Structure formats: structure tokens, C-alpha cells
Amino acid sequence: MLEGKLALVAGVANRRSIAWAVAEALHAQGVKLAFTYQGERLEKTVRELAASIGSDIVVPCDVRSDADLDRAFGEIAGGLGGLDLLVHSVAFAAAGDLEGRFIDTTRENFWLAVDISAYSLTAMAKRAEPLMAARGGGSIVTMTYLGGERVVPRYNVMGVAKATLDASMRYLAADLGPSNIRVNAVSAGPVRTLAARSIPGFGSMTDIVEQRAPLKRNIDASDVAQTAVYLLDAPNVTGTIAYVDAGYHAMGM
Ligand code: NAD
Ligand code: 0WE
């Protein structure tokens, strides 16, 4: 029962974002929502989307900045009147690193991908902890991908960042469990978000899923959202990854 819970969703860029699908699903459950977005360029879109589900708590937050995170969590705690749920749906690697060889990743771009795509979960969890603990507990969900566990050609440094994210999720689950805060991840198959569509060869990845996944089809953002909502609400489930990939991860060939 999520009715009346207070949620922060980080990672909405547009209506195709996985984060937006999760927000819509939470709204349908009677959850009150707040949003963070990156950069002025996204403000109008995110504000309009939020307004469409009756939310006006929309604050900028570049997850690379501790000052941004401090200010955003302050504004959100005030605006919502507390925090129960956190949806982390943020990732970035330099476009040039999602092609060619992983070995060519520079030191700077390696840390950029890990900073935005992995450390940000810990940075947000740290700020969410006191707010959630004050309400008797909470639940955090992040978005990961199989490329953090196995080699997916061209996922490259994002794979290393997702491996870091997955391990961070488990350590956070251990740290926050005593405060009755659960931390889990959804591992989604390829979804045609704007970010994904800009990746060369994305179409052939969805073809491969259709051929090889047990269910012989691709997934969409609303499938991911349904499992995210389940994890946000699932008593005694923490430190785990739920795969929403039509079973693709189970195959060895
Ligand atoms: P998206 O582009 O809609 O979402 C990514 C979000 O990250 C954007 O809202 C962007 O603004 C945000 N972001 C990037 N850098 C940031 C920064 N410095 N500070 C704050 N926010 C920043 O794409 P998406 O596909 O919805 O991705 C959401 C999550 O889902 C990511 O973690 C991604 O790795 C994961 N995921 C996506 C797929 C897929 O195929 N689309 C599959 C599995 C997992
Ligand atoms: O996590 C992702 C992609 C996240 C992402 C997307 C971009 C595109 C724009 C991170 N950084 C950037 N940087 C940009 O400049 N996915 C799980 C989707 C995805 O991306 C791939 C994949 C899959 C699947 C890249 C190569 C191979 C497979």
C-alpha cells in the first residue's frame, strides 16, 4: 500500500524516460511526487509533466554537485513534508565511450560515468536516510542493466559504472536496513528512451532480444515501472536486482 506516501523521482528528461513511467505508476497508486531534473534545458518539460499529475515540486539537481544535492533535498523535504520513496534513474557516459573499445576510455570519462551513474545513488541515499528514518523507514529503487554483469559490446564504461551501482545498492541495503530502509534495483532490457535511441545500433539490440529472450519480445518503460513499484512496496525485499528483460538474462546463448 503506497497510498499517501511521499516520493522523489530523479531522472525524468521527457515523457519517454523510465523515470516518468515510474512516476505515472506511483501517481496511480496515490503517491505524492517531487522531481529533480538536470539543467535549465529540461525544466519546462519536467514542470509540465509534473503538473499533469498534480505535482509542482520540481527542483534542479545536477548529481555531480554536493551543493545541488543538499539544496534539492532541503527543498523536497520541505515541499513534500518528508520522504518515503526514492527513485534513482540517472546515468551518463560520454557519447564517444558508447562505441569502440572500452580500453580507450580516458581517466576523466571513466570517473564521469561512475560519478553520475553510480556514486549519485549513494549521495542521494545519504541525504534520504534521515528523512526516511524520521518516518519509520523507506524504500529506494535504482535502474541498472545487464551490461554491468556481463560484456555487452559498446556498453563499455557504462558497464563498469553499472557494476559499481549494483554493488553500491547492496552495501546501501546493508547500511540502511537497520533504519528500515530497503534498497533494490530493476535491471531493464533495452527500452527506446531518447537516450537509448541516440545510440548507434540500438535497433539491432532490440532485434536480438526478440530472437533470443525466452518471451521473444521487447519490454517497455511501463513494464519497468510496474516492477519498480513492486520493489518500492515489497516488505522484506532488499539488496536485490529484479530483471525486467523478457528473461534475456537467463540465456547462455
Ligand atoms: P533518460 O535519458 O530518459 O534518463 C536518464 C536521466 O539521467 C535523464 O533524465 C538525465 O537528465 C539524467 N542525468 C544525466 N546526467 C545527470 C546529472 N549530471 N545530474 C542529474 N541527472 C542527470 O534515459 P532512460 O533510458 O530513462 O535512463 C534511466 C535509467 O535507466 C538509467 O540509469 C539507465 O542506465 C537505465 N536503463 C536504461 C535502459 C534503456 O534501455 N533505456 C535499460 C536499462 C537501464
Ligand atoms: O544505460 C543505458 C544508456 C545510458 C546512457 C545513454 C547515453 C546516450 C547519450 C548513458 N550515457 C549516454 N550518453 C550520451 O551521450 N542503457 C542501458 C541503454 C543502452 O545503452 C547502450 C546499450 C544499451 C542497452 C550503449 C551501448 C550498447 C548497449
**DSSP track, 63-122:** TT-HHHHHHHHHHHHHHHTS-SEEEE------GGGGSS-GGG--HHHHHHHHIIIIIHHH
In this prediction, residue 241 carries a pLDDT of 99
In this prediction, residue 104 carries a pLDDT of 98
Q: Whose CA is nearest to atom 15 of ligand 2?
A: 95
Taking the CA of 18 as reference, the closest ligand is 1
Q: Is 155 a catalytic residue?
A: yes
**Over the stretch 164-210, which tens digit does the pLDDT of each residue have?**
999 999 999 999 999 999 999 999 999 988 888 888 889 899 999 99
Tell me the three cell numbers of residue 117: 551513474
Q: Is residue 111 over pLDDT 90?
A: yes
Helices (H) and strands (E) in the chain, counts: 9, 7
Of 18, 49, 87, 157, the residue with max ligand 1 atoms within 8 A of its CB, to mutate for a pocket test, comes to 18
* High-pLDDT (> 70) share of the chain, %: 100
In this prediction, residue 194 carries a pLDDT of 82
Overall pTM > 0.85: yes
Question: At 24, is the secondary structure helix, strand, or coil?
Answer: helix
Average pLDDT, the chain: 97
